[in-house]
Amino acid sequence: MAAVMTPPFRLIVTSNQFDAFGEAPSLLIHNLREHGWPVPGVIGPSALSDLFAQTWTSLTGERSHLRTHERLFELTHVIAPRPGPGQLRIATPDDTPLVVRWIKAFQEEALRTSISDAEAASWARTRIGKGEVYLWVLPDGAIVSLVGTTRPVSRVISIGPVYTPSELRGQGYASRSVAALSQHLLDSGWQRCSLFTDLSNSTSNTIYQQVGYRPVHDFNEYDFSHS
């Protein structure tokens, strides 16, 4: 078992074994408490994060709350979605105001958190500057969906965030955006693309599998509190 934490964010736990953790969670918790580290929550493979949360509540008396139940998917071959209007293009600095609005909306809807205008603007400027934000644009110039890249590691790169305003959903824009960006990344030399979905969102779990993403493992995220 391995763990890493960057305060004030949650503890991240992982293991190369998914069903036998022994005393590792309790030993880690004792060590964290001995050194006075505040732990706001934990995220990791479901079985391990579940056990850690249970052990944490048992040893500390705090409560744990399941925040998200996510699934990791990976793709090595794109299944082309139903053709439709528009094309993918990389975002430019001129798109910053739109990206700021949409990333704030994404944070509130998908991650159940809020960020300030300044935080959203910093995110947009940084990610656009790195070439990590793409937009699906219709023939008339209307921008209808956003998709980004993140966490490039060795031969794997992740897709995220993915956002389409509620009034524009159901038209296949997200599917085509994710498929087009995934194909672009594979063509650029990446061997695999990955992404996380919230398992409570049946739509996203369906559309990503339709363009070639296959489930790898489930992850749970917990918050800890005194009440």
Domain boundary among 61, 86, 109: 61
Q: Where do the DSSP E strands lie in the chain?
A: 2-4, 11-14, 41-45, 63-75, 87-90, 133-137, 143-153, 156-163, 192-198, 214-225
Residue for token pair 């249970």: 54
Number of domains in the chain: 2
Where does a domain end: 32, 61, 90? 61
Report how far residue 113's alpha carbon sits from residue 115's, in angstroms, rounded to the nearest whole number. Answer: 7
Structure confidence at residue 20 as a pLDDT band (50, 70, 90):
low
Whether residues 80 and 164 fall in one domain? yes
**Same structural domain, 148 and 37:** no
What CATH number corresponds to the domain at position 80?
3.40.630.30
Question: Of 61, 92, 110, at which residue does a domain stop?
Answer: 61
Q: Tens of pLDDT along 87-127?
A: 999 999 999 999 999 999 999 998 888 999 999 999 999 99
Task: Tell me if 56 is assigned to some domain.
Answer: yes
**Same domain flag for 121 and 16:** no
pLDDT in tens, 209-223: 999 999 999 999 999
Residue 224, domain member (yes or no): no
Q: What is the pLDDT of residues 156-173, one digit of tens each?
A: 999 999 999 999 999 999
- 36 and 102 housed in the same domain: no
Are 31 and 109 found together in one domain?
no
**Residue 207 domain-assigned (yes or no):** yes
Identify whether residues 137 and 42 lie together within a single domain.
Answer: no
Q: What is the pLDDT of residue 118?
A: 97
- Claim to verify: residue 115 and residue 204 sit in the same structural domain: yes
Range of the domain at 8: 2-61
Both 93 and 204 in one domain: the answer is yes
Picking from 79, 77, 84, the residue whose alpha carbon sits closest to that of residue 210 is: 79
Within-domain flag for 160 = yes
